[in-house]
Structure 1
Amino acid sequence: MSGAQPGRAPARGPFGGPMGRGAAPIEKARSFGPSARRLLGTLRSERAGLIAVVLFGILSVGLTVLGPKLLGDATNIVFAGFISLQFPAGTSEQQVVDSLVAAGQQEQADMISAMSFTPGAGVDFGALGAILLMVLTVYVLGSMFAWLQARLLNGIVQRAMHRLRMQVEHKVHRLPLRTFDRMQRGELLSRVTNDVDNIGQSMQQTVSQVVTSLLTVVGVMVMMFVISPLLALIALVTIPLTIGITVLVARRSQSLFAAQWKNTGILNARVEETFSGHAVVKVFGRQKAVEADFRAENEELYRASFGAQFVSGIIMPSMMFIGNLVYVAIAVVGGLQVAGGMLSIGAVQAFIQYSRQFTQPLSQLGSMANLLQSGVASAERVFEFLDEEEETPDDDAAPTLPPDAGRLAFEDVSFRYVADTPLIHGLSLVAESGGTVAIVGPTGAGKTTLVNLVMRFYDVDAGRITLEAASGDAVDIRRMSRADLRRRTGMVLQDTWLFAGTIRENIAYGRPDATEEEILAAARAAYVDRFVHALPEGYDTVLDDDATNLSAGERQLVTIARAFLADPRLLILDEATSSVDTRTELLIQRAMSRLRADRTSFVIAHRLSTIRDADLILVMEAGAIVEQGTHETLLRAGGAYRRLYDAQFEAAPDAGAGVDAVEEAALAAAPTEADRP
C-alpha cells in the first residue's frame, strides 16, 4: 500500500492506539441464553447421533444405578448370615424376635424383624456369589455403554466444530476488506483458533456430563423413593440449593469469562504484531515500551482469567459442603430407621451410596457452569464474527465480457472510507486498452484507493467504473462477478505475500494448472532463475511462513513471476520494484514492458524514473487528479508533477545546504491546505 488512507480506521500499531493501554474496558457478554441456544443449534444436523447418545446414557446410568441396590442386597445376605449363627438351628424367625422382646431387647428385635434369615444357617454363599456376579455384569455393561456414548459424542462434537471452522473459513472470503482494516490479525486468529477450540472442548465435556448427570439424578431419585420416601425428601433439599448457588455464581462469572477470551485475543494480537515487527522494535529501541504494553495486557488477562476461574471454582466446594450436610442427615435418620426396624442395613447402605451418586452429578452440573460460561463466551465472539456484514453478493445473471476487454473508465467517481470524511470526489479518467497509466502523488493522496476500487475491494459511493471490450460493449464492474473481474487482473504489491511452500508452488499460485515449462518461463522473465539455482533445492526450496530464507528483493521477484504466469488482461503494479536493486530494477522494467504489452496497466510509483514511458501519468493530491499527461508534457507544465520530480532529482547546491534543498523541494511538492477540497 502507498500509505495510510485518509479517513480509514486507525492502524493499530505496536506502541499505542486502540490496542495500547488505553483500550476500552471489556463489556459483559451480550446474551447467554441466545448464544447457548445458537451453539446447541450447531448440533442440529446430528439429531440421530444425539438420540443414540441419550439412549446409551440411559442404558449406562440405568445399569450403574442398579449397582448400590444389588450391593445392599449382598450386605443383607452377609448380615443375615452372621445374625443367624447367633441363634440355634431349628428355631423360627418369629421365635427369635419373641425371645429378644421377652429379654427386653426391643431395638434388636425391631431390627431383626426387618430381616429375612434362617437361624443357624450361616451366610448363603450361593446367593451372595450370584448377586456379586450380577453386580460385576451390571458395572461392566454400564461402563461399556458409557464408553460407546463418549465415543459417539466425540465424533458429533468434532464434526460440529469442523462445520463451524468451515463456516468461519467461508465467512472470511465473503467479508469486505474494510472488516479486516478494523480487525487486528492476531484478534482474528484468536477467534478462529483459540475460541473455536475452546468451544469444542467445552461442548465435549459439558454435553456428555449434562446428559449423564441429569439421567443419574433422575435414576437415583427413583431408587431413593423406592427405598425410603423420607430419606429421599431429605436428599431433594440439595436441588434448590444447588440451583441457587449456580445461578448466583454463573451470573458473576459470565462477564469474567467474556473478558478472559477478549483479553486473550488482545494479547495474541500484541504478540503477533510485535514478533512480526521484531526488527523494527529493535532498531528503534522500543523493547521496554513493548514489554510494558505486554505486561499491562498480560496483567489484564491474568486478572480476568483469575477472576473467572476463582468465581466459577466456588461452585464445587459449595456443592460438596451441601452434599456432606445431606450425607450426615441421611446417616442419622437412616440409622434411626434401621434401629426402628423400618429399614434394613443393606437398604441404608444402598441409600447412602445413592445419596453420594445424587449429590455428585449435582456438583458436576454446578462445576460445569464455568466450562459452559467459557464456551458460550467464546461462541459469542465466533458468532459475532460470523454475523459481520458481508460483501454484496454478485448477480446470478452477471454479464460476461470477451477476453479482450481492457478499456477502463472512471466516470465521476466518488468514494470515502468513513462516511463523514470525503476522499475521492468527482474523479473521471480513461485507461485505454493496452495502455499504461501511472499514478503518482504524495502519501495518502488516494493512489492505492484507486486500485482498490478497480479490484472491487471497495465499491464506489457514486459514479461508476466501466470495463469496455474492443466491440464497444461496456459494463459497470459492479455488475460483473468479482471472480470474473479479478480473474482478468494481476497484481504485484509493495508488500510481498508468499506462503509456506516451494518456490515453484508460490509462482504457480495464480495458475495451479500451469505446466513446468510455463512456470520456468515466468521465472526467467522475472529473473527468479538468476538466484534460484544458488538455493539448496532450487525451485523445490521450501519457504517458511514469512519467506525469511529469501531476501526482500528475491521475494518481490517471485511475486512478479507469479504475475507473469497469471497472464492477466489488467495489470496493477503497486511499487512493484521498490525492494530490488537498481540493476535488477532496470532488467525488471524491460520485462514489465513486455508484460504490459497489449494489457491495460496501472502503475503506482514513488520513483518517477520508473514511469517515464507511461502512456498517461496521473498526479493525485487529496483524492483528486490535479494533473495528467505524459512525462514530458507534465515536466514542461511546471506544476505538481514538476515539483515531485525536482524533489527527487534536483541536485543540492552544496554539501552543507543539500538536506535543506531537498526538504524545501519536498515541501513544495506536497499539497497545501489551499490545494485540498
Structure 2
Amino acid sequence: MPRGRMGGRHGMSTEKAKDFKGTMKKLMGYLAQYKIGLLLVVIFAIGSTIFNIAGPKILGKATTELFHGLISKVSGGSGIDFDKIAKILIGLMCLYVCSALFSFIQGYIMTGVSQKLTYRMRKEISEKIDRLPMGYFDKMTHGEILSRITNDVDTLSQSLNQSATQVITSVATIIGVLVMMLSISPLMTVIAILILPLSMGLIGMIVKRSQRYFKEQQEYLGYVNGQVEEVYGGHNIVKAFNKEDDIIDEFDRDNDRLYRSAWKSQFLSGMMMPIMQFVGNLGYVAVVILGGYLAIKKTIEVGDIQSFIQYVRNFTQPIQQVAQVANMLQSTAAASERVFEFLEEPEEEAAPENPVVLKNPEGAVEFEHVHFGYNPEHTIIHDFSVKVEPGQKIAIVGPTGAGKTTMVKLLMRFYDVSGGSIKVDGHDIREFDRGELRRMFGMVLQDTWLFKGSVEDNIRYGKLDATHEDVVKAADAAYAHRFIQTLPGGYGMELNEEASNVSQGQKQLLTIARAILADPKILILDEATSSVDTRTEVRIQKAMDNLMKGRTSFIIAHRLSTIRDADLILVMKEGDIVEMGRHEELLAKNGFYADLYNSQFEQTA
C-alpha cells in the first residue's frame, strides 16, 4: 500500500484556522454574487422577527385585560370582557402566522443560495483539478482531495445555511427585544442586561478553545478518508501481503485522533447551551422578583411582567444562538480554508497567447540538453539530447529508475523540463496548447486505465466521434475483437468501476485498441505488452508494426527481445544516454546494452 505518503502526518501539529478573517473575507466575496437573494433573506428574516417580537407585548395586554376583569368581578363590576380578549388573541394569531410565513420564505431563499454556492465551489474544484500540475497529485492522496470536494464543501454549505439566518434573526431579536423591554421598564431591562458580560465572557472562552479542535477534526477526517480510499483501491495488495493488522492499526491511530478532536469540539460546543441557560435563568429569577415588586408599587401592569419574562427568555435565546453561530463559524472557517487552499494551489502554466497549431504534423521530435528533477534540488535527467526523425521507431531501454518513463512524461508535458527544451516539428512543446500537443500523441501505458462503462465506450474514448465499425476495426487490429465477442454482451458489456471483470491482459488489449482508434502521429508504448502472454504478444507486436508505419514511435521495454527491429535504441542509465544505435551495433560494442540483453537470457535459462 502507498501508505508512506501519509505516514508523516501522524506527528503534525494541527492549529486553528491560519487566517480566520481572511478566509471569511474570501467567503463573503463568494456570497457577493448572491447579494439580491441575501438581501431578501435579511428583509424576510427581520420581518419574521418583528412579528414574533410584537407577540409577547400583545399577549401581555390580554393578560392585563383578564386580570382587570377578575378584579372588576370581585369588586362587583362588569367582569371579564371576552370579546376584547378574543380580538387581541386573533390579532396575535395573525402576527404569528405572518412571522411563520416570512420565516419559511427566508429559509427557502437561503437554502437556494447555499446550494448554489455549493454547486459553484464543486464546479470550481472540478475545473481546478484539470489545471493542477501532475506534481500536486504525487504529494496528495486521492481521498484527501475527495474529502475537500465532499466533506468540506458539505460542512460549509450546512453551516452557512444554518448560521446566516440565525445571525440575522438573532441580532434583530436582540435589538427588537431590547426596545420592547425598555418600553416596559428601564430598571428591569438594566437587570436583564447585566447577564450579557458574563455570557459573552463564557462564549469567548469556549470559542477560543473549540476553534483548534474543529480545524483538527476536518484535517483528520481528510486523512481517514484518504486511507480508506487507498485501502479500498488496493485491498488485493493488502490481502496478498497479509497487511490487514497493520492497516487496521494505522486506521485506528488516525481514527482515534479524529475521535478525540471531534469529541472535544462537540463537547465544547455542547457546553454552550447549558451554560447559557444557567446564566439566563439567573437573569430570569432576578426579573421575576423585581417585576413582582414593581407591580405591587403599581409601576407596571401584571401583564407587563408576563411580557417582560417572555422577552427575557427571547433575549437570552438569541445570545445562545449567537454562541452556536460563533461555534459554527469555526467549522465554516476550517472547511472554507481547506477549500480555498485547494483552489489557490499553483496551476500549470497557461497556454501562450498565440499557441502553435500544426495542421499536418510530421512527428519529428528533438530533445536538446534536457535537464529535469521532480525535486528541483535533485536532478535525475542530466543533459539528455537526441534527434528523432519522422516515422522512426525509437526504443528506450535501461534498468529500473534510469529515467525512461520520466522522458515520456516530459514529452507529454505532464512535467516541464528544468533546463533545455523538447521540440516537435521544430517547435518547443511549451509553445503549444497542452490539449493540442497531446492530441498528437497516442499512449499505451504499463498501468491500464479503463472507466466504468461499456467496452465500446472505453475504446471510443480514443476518438469520441468514431462509429461502431471504426471501434470494431480498431479492436480487430489490436487482436481484441475475438475475446470481446466471447464476453456477455460483447461490445456492450459494462466494465465495473475497477474493470476487474476482465483480465489484466484483456485490459491491455482494450487500451491498445483505444490507441489504434485515436490514429495519432506519435505513439508512446510504455511496457505495452508486459501483461499479455507470449502468443498474444506476438500478435500485438504485428499489429503494432502495422500501426507504427509512418508514425514516430517511442517504445519503453524491459524485454529487449521486443525491440530488435527499432530504428534507434537509446540506452539510459541514471538519467543519461550511455549508448545509442541499432540492436546489432549495440551488441557488437559489448557494452552496457549487451550486458542487459545477455542478462535476460541468463535469467531465462
Structure 1 residue 403 displacement after superposition: 2.0
Query: 1:82, 1:123 within 8 Å by CA — same for their partners in 2?
Result: yes
Q: What is the match of residue 141 of structure 2? A: 184
Q: What is the match of residue 131 of structure 2? A: 174
Deviations 1:19-71 (A, max 9, x none): 26754232432121111221222111001111000010111111111111111
TM-score if structure 1 supplies the norm length? Answer: 0.87
Distance in 1, Cα, partners of 2:259 & 2:47: 43
- 1:451 equivalent to 2:408? Answer yes
Distance in 2, Cα, partners of 1:560 & 1:27: 49
Structure 1 residue 316 displacement after superposition: 1.6
Query: 1:413, 1:427 within 8 Å by CA — same for their partners in 2?
Result: yes
Which runs of 5 or more residues in structure 1 are unaligned? 1-11, 89-119, 469-473, 653-657, 659-677
Query: 2:10, 2:254 within 8 Å by CA — same for their partners in 1?
Result: no
Q: Percent identity?
A: 48
Query: 1:409, 1:431 within 8 Å by CA — same for their partners in 2?
Result: yes
Distance in 1, Cα, partners of 2:314 & 2:491: 65
Amino acid at match of 1:461: S
What is the aligned counterpart of 1:279 among 221, 227, 236? 236
What is the aligned counterpart of 2:30 among 34, 42, 54? 42
Distance in 2, Cα, partners of 1:141 & 1:227: 24
- 1:622 equivalent to 2:570? Answer no
What is the aligned counterpart of 1:430 among 371, 375, 387? 387
Q: What is the match of residue 549 of structure 1? A: 501
Structure 1 residue 314 displacement after superposition: 2.0
Structure 1 residue 485 displacement after superposition: 0.3
Deviations 1:542-592 (A, max 9, x none): 222111111111111221111111111111111112112221111111111
Partner SS for 1:342: coil
Amino acid at match of 2:2: G
Amino acid at match of 1:198: T
Query: 2:521, 2:551 within 8 Å by CA — same for their partners in 1?
Result: yes
Structure 1 residue 226 displacement after superposition: 1.2
Distance in 2, Cα, partners of 1:224 & 1:405: 85
Distance in 2, Cα, partners of 1:194 & 1:537: 38
Distance in 2, Cα, partners of 1:403 & 1:354: 80
Change in Cα spacing, 1:237 to 1:565, as seen in structure 2 (3 Å) is farther
Structure 1 residue 401 displacement after superposition: 2.1
Query: 1:242, 1:366 within 8 Å by CA — same for their partners in 2?
Result: no
Distance in 2, Cα, partners of 1:286 & 1:21: 20
Q: What is the match of residue 98 of structure 2? A: 141
Q: What is the match of residue 261 of structure 1? A: 218
Distance in 1, Cα, partners of 2:111 & 2:51: 22
User: Where is the helix percentage greater, Structure 1 or Structure 2?
Assistant: 2
Distance in 2, Cα, partners of 1:22 & 1:167: 30
Amino acid at match of 2:56: P
Q: What is the match of residue 451 of structure 2? A: 499
Distance in 2, Cα, partners of 1:140 & 1:635: 93
Distance in 2, Cα, partners of 1:597 & 1:365: 73
Amino acid at match of 1:636: A
Partner SS for 2:87: helix
Q: What is the match of residue 347 of structure 2? A: 390
Partner SS for 1:625: strand
Query: 1:224, 1:351 within 8 Å by CA — same for their partners in 2?
Result: yes
TM-score if structure 2 supplies the norm length? Answer: 0.97
Q: What is the match of residue 199 of structure 2? A: 242
Distance in 2, Cα, partners of 1:247 & 1:22: 30
Partner SS for 2:260: helix
Equivalent runs, 1:364-403 vs 2, <5 Å:
364-403=321-360
- 1:527 equivalent to 2:515? Answer no
Amino acid at match of 2:393: T
Distance in 2, Cα, partners of 1:626 & 1:239: 79
Distance in 2, Cα, partners of 1:533 & 1:59: 68
Q: What is the match of residue 113 of structure 1? A: none
- 1:155 equivalent to 2:112? Answer yes
Superposition RMSD in Å: 1.5
Query: How many residues get paired?
Result: 605
Partner SS for 1:618: strand
Distance in 2, Cα, partners of 1:649 & 1:533: 37
Distance in 2, Cα, partners of 1:371 & 1:539: 52
Query: 2:454, 2:491 within 8 Å by CA — same for their partners in 1?
Result: yes
Query: 2:51, 2:98 within 8 Å by CA — same for their partners in 1?
Result: yes
Q: What is the match of residue 341 of structure 1? A: 298
Moved more, 503-512 or 136-145: 503-512
Equivalent runs, 1:179-218 vs 2, <5 Å:
179-218=136-175
Distance in 1, Cα, partners of 2:145 & 2:261: 20
Change in Cα spacing, 1:314 to 1:439, as seen in structure 2 (3 Å) is same
Partner SS for 1:189: helix
